[in-house]
Amino acid sequence: MSIRHNEVLQALFRRRSIRAYTRDPVDRQSVETILQAGRWAPSGLNNQPWRFMVLFAGDSRQEGLAECTRYGGIVRKARVLIPVCIDKASMYSATKDHQSIGACMQNMLLAVHSLGLGGVWLGEILNREERALDVLGLDREAYGLMAVLALGHPAEEGKSERKPLGELLLEEW
């Protein structure tokens, strides 16, 4: 398969999770572009159940979030954290709405990559979701934490392996 002339496929196949960042700040325009990319994800009935917060490095809540995950080192070094929440009032189907949040996160990670930044989807923080929502000052009845996107200028090159496609197919085609 040739992806050389297909920018979308290049982004899909070359994007990697980046967990280490330089101390260089991320500009607000880049953050807005990332949020816009998330905003344009597909959602059932176009209900757009995602809600975002933006925490720049040094925000007092950064340390609190770091204490909510075993990946606290990544949280502490991130130049920007974007908690992605689900607005419970806008939900109509938990499964479809959670899938929509996944699409939103993927859009955001592809935008991060396309801007020359690095990011990682932190889902393990959900093990302490209630504490994380408290740190963020969010009402647990109104919002659910879906993930936190940590990002910055890459201080490392990402690497990843994938299983062969044959191992993922449930039957031959």
100-111 pLDDT, tens digit each: 999 999 999 999
Instruction: Give CA–CA dist 122/146, Å, rounded.
Output: 9
Instruction: Give CA–CA dist 122/127, Å, rounded.
Output: 11
| Maximum Cα interatomic distance, the chain, rounded to a whole number of Å | 53
At 70 the pLDDT is 97
Question: String of b and e for 89-105 (b: at least 16 CB within 10 Å)?
Answer: eebeeeeebeebbeebb
Contact 143, 51 (CB under 8 A): yes
Instruction: Give CA–CA dist 11/40, Å, rounded.
Output: 17
Q: State in words which class domain 28-155 has.
A: alpha beta
At 3 the pLDDT is 80
At 4 the pLDDT is 82
80-104 pLDDT, tens digit each: 999 999 999 999 999 999 999 999 9
The pTM score is 0.95
4-53 pLDDT, tens digit each: 889 999 999 999 999 999 999 999 999 999 999 999 999 999 999 999 99
106-132 pLDDT, tens digit each: 999 999 999 999 999 999 999 999 999
